[in-house]
Structure 1
């Protein structure tokens, strides 16, 4: 990228060769996840980053070709700060997890960050067995992982989506309950935010927990928490989940466990579309269309 802006600011270019340093590996990238965070970064909503030479991409899967000897030849998932839309990537060994042979690189990144956000959000919300859980944005990348993991944990899962097509696809994932605008819940998992966030607080039971882990519909209004304050007698709570607050070893341990669940057939990687790396512009346009179900992946 040379400037922040629309998808057209993404351009294919050649850079100087990169090398792995101490405690790092060089990965020949096979697949890279495309997420809404990439869109926010592309638009320049992180003031700490310069667009000049910025390469998006926070998660990749591929084979280690250099660096720490114990990792060479292994296929790994890597969570990074940037640079994933590339043929090669350097990652710290603390930020990689081995991918089982039975799992494709495309599936690994389709699980990837989305499954990690879902897993740690459910922990943050103290989501217990048999509890009523609502997932806002259930058809998105994080949402499709959240409904699966919550259901696997024994929760009674209800999905919130305005799309009949996504309802049908969620049903195929085993979700049979859809929000009618009146039900109350023990836990609400929200990937959407936006202006309507506060209207969901009244849908929480006493002692209910609200976990916000995404802003697919934009930031909520500044006074969004006031309805929760006026419902003080219900002892409601709201928390926020960012993987930046989770230790690297916890993330990679969780990623390994998630891969195991996928290999065992207990959860599925949900892939919307796979694009070649040089079609990243099309991938971003698709992501911003609002029609995506699951994850978009770039394949190298």
Structure 2
């Protein structure tokens, strides 16, 4: 089979090589799937750079999210269409990948392969962040950074589905138009306007109840300046490249909470919650309350170019490699 492999760390376009390798054999508790679509995630870029918290031994095939069709293994019927995370080092940027049965979920019939491949990580993360960690309530105001990206666009849609008012912060006019199309109540282009002032004006000076921050850096610092009394800042990641160092005295005097979110840990602590979240996400997808934003598709041989665009912040929604 054809697969992109990494023999050294670096920028995706420089270190990924498309090679012919044997099709892997599923072990106990695993299935082999034919990859129908692989959604590109920022962790794939970090895996290539050697900067992700998980560092598979070289060589390996990246690709942390897919929609596939089961072709062999025990525990799931052959021919079943599934979504989820593959078992590295046999990642999704290949014609076939391995998955743990526990990490494979039924693909919603309401979504095509590209959209289904984009449902799992971003929307699971959003569901846990907004509902499990922040306990977002109807009528509250939610601020989402990087709202036109894969993770941010999921949070915008989930916030709207939960009955919240959603403020979307983006970088650039094109991304602002995308966020508006997702149904955000207010869209702020941080390149053109001061999002802190805009948030305070929109909320009548009270600030936002929940912040969903996959960016870090200045996004986090500004969020702390416009968080409401008893507000919650959900720290999702640091795509901006800077890990903030929050002043806990500021959290004390303003009476807000800083909540970390590492979605992957729920696999270790309460796998049943992932099933609960998946069932709710399928319900929302079937009701057209959420639809993964696919910003572009490409064949397997163009995957490194897609990862380059993603790493440079030049994409909206999910870029998806399709078979």
What's the TM-score, normalizing by structure 2? 0.87
Q: Which residue of the partner structure matches residue 252 of structure 2? A: 232
Q: How does 1:87-126 map to 2 (within 5 A)?
A: 87-123=95-131, 124-126=133-135
Q: Which residue of the partner structure matches residue 208 of structure 1? A: 231
Report Cα offsets for 1:247-297 as digits up to 9, x if no partner.
Answer: 333223322331332222111110111111111111112112322110011
Q: Which residue of the partner structure matches residue 242 of structure 2? A: 219
Question: Is the CA contact (8 Å cut-off) linking 1:95 and 1:252 kept in structure 2?
Answer: no
Report Cα offsets for 1:230-260 as digits up to 9, x if no partner.
Answer: 3413221101111111133322332233133
Give the drift of 1:17. 2.5
| Whole-angstrom CA distance in 2 between matches of 1:76 and 1:46 | 25
Give the drift of 1:50. 5.2
Report Cα offsets for 1:141-177 as digits up to 9, x if no partner.
Answer: 0100100001110111111113111111211121131
- Superposition RMSD in Å: 1.8
Q: Which residue of the partner structure matches residue 136 of structure 1? A: 145
Answer yes or no: is 1:278 the counterpart of 2:283.
no
Give the drift of 1:47. 6.9
Q: How does 1:1-300 map to 2 (within 5 A)?
A: 1-7=6-12, 8-46=14-52, 49=55, 52-68=58-74, 70-82=76-88, 83-123=91-131, 124-179=133-188, 180-182=195-197, 183=200, 184-221=207-244, 224-226=245-247, 228-247=248-267, 248-300=271-323
Structure 1 residues 25, 51: closer, same or farther in 2, change over 3 A?
A: closer
Gaps (5+ residues) in structure 1? Answer: none
Count of aligned pairs between the two proteins: 297
What's the TM-score, normalizing by structure 1? 0.93
Question: Is the CA contact (8 Å cut-off) linking 2:251 and 2:257 kept in structure 1?
Answer: no
| Whole-angstrom CA distance in 2 between matches of 1:190 and 1:47 | 19
| Whole-angstrom CA distance in 2 between matches of 1:68 and 1:237 | 44
Q: Which residue of the partner structure matches residue 203 of structure 2? A: none
Gaps (5+ residues) in structure 2? Answer: 1-5, 189-194, 201-206
| Whole-angstrom CA distance in 2 between matches of 1:262 and 1:174 | 16
